[in-house]
Amino acid sequence: MLNIGDSHLMKKINLAILGATGAVGLEILKVLEERDFPVGNLELLAHKSEAGKKIIFKGIEYTVKEALEDSFENIQITLVAVSSEVSKKFMPSVIKNGSIAVDNSSAFRLDDNVPLVIPEINPEEVLKHKGIIANPNCSTTIGLVAVNELNKYGNIKRMIVLTYQAVSGAGLDGLKELEEQTRAELDSKEYKNTIFQHKIAFNIIPHIDDILENGYTKEEMKMVYESRKILNKPNLLVSCNCARVPVMRSHSESITIETEKEITVEKARELLSNAKGVKLVDDPINNQYPMPLDTSNQDLVYVGRVRKDISSLDGKSLTLWCCGDQIRKGAATNAIQIAELLLEKGLV
């Protein structure tokens, strides 16, 4: 017998994916299939140069179409996986057609009318949507999932975040550039970088996104502003240094949190071992800690190396290390979790 409360499970949702052929778009399709999201009609949209490409989803071949203003008719949820510029261009059409946008770009994240949602942290925010729900930046999502339960227990006042970011943050072209450039480097051949500002093979580039007047990059300030909004702490102190590393698709972060209430290492481990979206991997003596290779192609944020920040005078400071897949939890999976929330809460 069908439980009325489960009736939403029977619903099929008409979905559009804007930017279906990029790294995040393709991963969205993979995650939709894995999680058995109830997809009704599916529109795969992209730049006209991609139109005509074939993509298989659940055994059915779909043809990628050029994204146009009228592409969103009868679409309930549009998963947006394009640049901010393209997102801004199409958003009026998405909304006009009554489709809810889950936007992976940074275009609307800090807009007061747009919820910025990590389902493990602030799921209820989706109820406030006015047509757009924003997906946070990948490094914000990974870092905040890692510290969420520690914050609920200890109330974070200050965060110092250092990132070691994978090339997938620059999309499929970023992945290709690292692979081809590394091969060229090993063979002592020339390979001109076109995606990153400098050679990324066997190098570190402490520069992601534009440089702002205060000397921070946009990527670094995303961590500041998005964390404040998601944790609902307008005065949270955050500093961040973002660096690109020659790693394919998982970001690593070293995070130091200063809290109002002291958190012992034991308590932190207990909180983390029960935290949603987190896998505690913290047995360094036996060489167990989060690493990008282990966290790729899955959804959990691994957390380890939990220890007291020994540079803190009052003992109310913890340091930890976390890793998570930038394309999945950092982008595609979080977007689909938001879509699932919309379904669960009867918003579509």
59 contact partners, CB below 8 Å, separation of at least 6: none
Q: Minimum CB separation from its own copies for residue 198, in Å?
A: 6
User: Any catalytic annotation for residue 322?
Assistant: no
Query: Minimal distance in Å, beta carbon 95 to its own copies?
Result: 34
Collapsing DSSP to helix, strand or coil, 18 comes out as strand
Nearer to its own copies, 323 or 331 (CB): 323
Nearer to its own copies, 87 or 168 (CB): 168
Kindly tell me which of 72 and 321 has the beta carbon lying closer to its own copies.
Answer: 321
Report the residue number, 89 or 228, with the smaller CB distance to its own copies.
228
Cα 232 from Cα 121, distance rounded (Å)? 10
Calculate Rg over the CA atoms of the chain. Answer: 20
Which of 138, 240, 322, 323 does the annotation list as catalytic?
138
Q: How far is the CB of 313 from its own copies (least distance, A)?
A: 7
Amino acid found at 82: V
DSSP summary character for residue 208 = -
Question: Which residues form the interface with its own copies (CB under 8 A)?
Answer: 158-160, 162, 164, 178-179, 182-183, 186, 197-199, 202-207, 211, 214-217, 224, 237-239, 241, 243, 245-248, 252, 254, 256, 265, 284-285, 287, 289-293, 304-313, 319, 321, 323
Q: How far is the CA of 215 from the CAs of 85, 200, 203, 272, in angstroms?
A: 24, 22, 22, 34
Cα atoms found within 13 Å of the Cα of residue 319, Cβ hemisphere only? 9
334 near 304, Cβ under 8 Å? no
Catalytic residue among 129, 240, 251, 323: 251
The token pair at 210 is 């534009």
Give start and end residues of each alpha helix (H) in the chain.
23-34, 84-96, 138-154, 171-186, 218-230, 265-273, 292-295, 333-344
- Looking at this protein, which amino acid is placed at residue 160? I
Q: Please give the full DSSP string across 136-165, using - where no structure is assigned.
A: PPHHHHHHHHHHHHHHHHH-EEEEEEEEEE
Closer residue to its own copies (CB): 1 or 313? 313
Contact 29/337 with Cβ under 8 angstroms? no
| Residue 241: CB minimum distance to its own copies, A | 4
Catalytic residue flag (residue 47): no
What is the closest distance, in whole angstroms, from the C-beta atom of residue 102 to its own copies in the complex?
A: 30
Q: CA 241 to CA 138: how far, in whole Å?
A: 14
Tell the smallest beta-carbon distance from residue 73 to its own copies (Å): 43
For 279-291, the DSSP string reads EE--BGGGTB---
Please give the Cα distance from 259 to 273 (Å, whole number): 19
Nearer to its own copies, 145 or 335 (CB): 145
The catalytic residue positions are 138, 251
